[in-house]
Structure 1
Amino acid sequence: MKYIEPVKSVVLFLLVMLSVVLTFMIWTYTPDYKFIEQTEGKEILIGPQKEMKDVIRPYKAIYRFDKEFTGTVSNSAMVDIMEAFQGWNILDLMPVDNNLKADSVNEMIRTNNSMTVFFPGEIPYSAFNTIFQFADKELPETTFNRMIIDWSKYNNKELQVFFLSGNNELLMRSHVSLENANQFVRNIIEPAKTYSTFKEVERDGFISLYIANDKIESAKYTYFIEEKPELFKDVLFTNLNNVVRTDESATTEKYHDGMSRMVIDSKAKSLTYVYPAAESSVRIEPSKLFTDSFEFINEHGGFTDDYRLVSSSTSNNQLDYQLYLHGLPIYSDQAINRITTVWGDNRIFRYKRPYFSFEKDITSEKEMKELPSGSEIVEKIKKLNNIDLSDIDDIVVGFYLTYDQSTIVTLEPCWFVIRNGISTKLTPDILGGVKNGLE
């Protein structure tokens, strides 16, 4: 019995020392990172990943007060509108007219106490699943590019919302149960009373155009850009060891791995990736087409700047996303300004896009410009022989992108006419005979 206490002391000492040793080993342990790098999958993000709502943002909103229109194309106003939509309960979504006439649309937009939200492209209803709370579990496999919101009964916490499609002349109607209707009116409707007045440009048999009455002030910007063609190569090819590079010309590089190919055009600052085996003629429904396209681009952080869905063609499964800056679209005949995806057999078939992104605004080069009012532009267009108002989808202010140096671009505000997805730059020099067609 006399040895029990010494034994206890020895055991306790050993346990304490073991604890000290283990603690030291934990503190000083360094894992074999080389092994981890070899075994873990490599994820490359070219830019920040985005939410679906970021690429379906509207570009214009007009409001009807006492038989007068006001409106805005402000980027912050568009963000506020999308935030106001968050959580809306969409009830009783149903078709009203599948052969919608232009005169009917114009009358709806002219209704007092209503606002119209314009989207640059046809939006699948499913794309708003993360924004609206649809009462219907199954949404229609169709699209819309305008929303008309009637707030005349907001005191009853109810709004009436119409969804219009320009592609298939379909009108859908729904009701919104809105607990915070007063907040919506306070944050979205009341500020619109101070916006610039907009003019309705009526066209016999066609939906009216809506343009600002006042002269437009906008800045001319100069930006440094960052070019990342190598990163796209690393993202798009699954096994870089099999990739072979060939220089086609002074401005063209081609990469291929036996299954796919990518062409870099340094003159247009663009890349085109094609996976020929995925080519397919099977039509994909709008909701799945948009989801697949968005997820493919977003998976590698491909929405490197403000890109917005502007056009879709389910006949060949193609979607286009237009580059925007400060809420205005960018057009150019020097550099490509859209992301285009063509979906194939369970994967991307063709992917074309800019490989640059805006890095830094050169503030010393910023210059304010004054553009003619929309009303002035319309009057000048009416005098032209080669542009008919009835052929125009919209008249917008955007930026015209040019570059003299490889990593510096200039963005000058201009008026553009949009016809069948093609933009035509309108400047004082060429309004007598427009020649520039810009995609």
Structure 2
Amino acid sequence: MTQGRPGENEAEASVTLTLTPSVTERIGASLAAVDAELDRRYPGDPGTRQPVHTVYVPGDVLAADTARSWGDQALGLLDAHAPDADALAAVLGLDDALAADVHARVRAKLRREPVEDLRIDFEDGYGNRPDAEEDAHAARAARLVAAAFADGAPSRVPPFLGIRLKCMESAVRDRGIRTLDIFLTALMEAGGLPPGLVLTLPKVTYAEQVTAMVRLCEEFEAARGLTPGRIGFEIQIETSQSILGADGRATVARMIEAAEGRATGLHYGTFDYSACCGVSAAHQSLDHPVADHAKAVMQVAAAGTGVRLSDGSTNVLPVGSTTRVHAAWKLHHDLVRRSLARAYYQGWDMHPGHLPTRYAAVYAFYREGYEAAAARLAAYAADAGGDVMDEPATAKALAGYLLRGLDCGALDDTEVGVATGLTRTELEGFAAPRRSALTVSAS
């Protein structure tokens, strides 16, 4: 007698059930509120571009050519201290096989789009000024932002641009609200809020301060006839109270909830947070244990919410002799690499000299892994198997990795398309699957 293969006669097989359809319906009804809550709280990543960095410029320093100027200064430093691929590889420890490509791509990026996200600072980097002076600078910033977006040249206007206002603490609250009002009002009078507008709320200690920011956004939208929810903002995590509240609960999760869907990011503030925890100035860094703890809490709180994460900055500037520049570059490069490996795909840069190492670290990170990621995703998409058994959640991570590489210029559409056999639209489908697809797996 010949025995058929498993599943050969499945169409003829019959199954017997004990539970009636009404049981399934009752279970579904009992969990309907939970289903709705999951969809509300954990919508997943928005699937839009995330900048690899935020550049920090005081409000009185901003100029029409700030982004282009930063790119030119970065190119000048690269020419002076790492003029070719071998020199850059020696400084940063890049793989020889990657060095030429990375060096060329960094130079091209600094010419084409030197800054991805520009934050005009009216907080610590700006300080306290007479009201008339800050009023004038806020209005001027809005005019420059409006003109930049109207210009549209990638080398002159970053895709993302906005202000960091003063915090919601009583001493500076009124000033921060006034600056926000002046800036947004001037943008509206210049033609409307630009699509890449970003606002940053610093030094948040209580969820109620986030709620206050929400109310401000609502009032402005209503007064100006904007679509409800049009204005979002980042929350900067710079105090211990933003991680752990007086009641012992993780405050940052409450802040995301208090934002009522308007929070776009959580940005770690390296130096304020470290100082708040008593870390001495010489040891305040992105890789200090207190920083790792805070960012781990931020990461778990934000997971699945669509709120993105950004690491902070280093204050060691690549200036002076070649020896000093190389040491600062190596430090910055290694910190960026460390952040990328820990799924912090964005950070803050405080000096034009940080741009070469920001992009070198980012480009090497994506280029060294894209072939393996593309092959795994291609095998998953074709259900071809291989030496790694991937699941929907891993396919999501693989696609997200490739898309981030494409967005920043580390990868090209053609090479990723050839390696995966997938279009950009198909990659986006894997990167943002429905929740039900992620929960059904082989495990």
Q: TM-score, normalised by structure 2?
A: 0.24
In proportion to residue count, which structure has more strand? 1
The structure whose residues are more often helix, as a share, is 2
TM-score by length of 1: 0.24
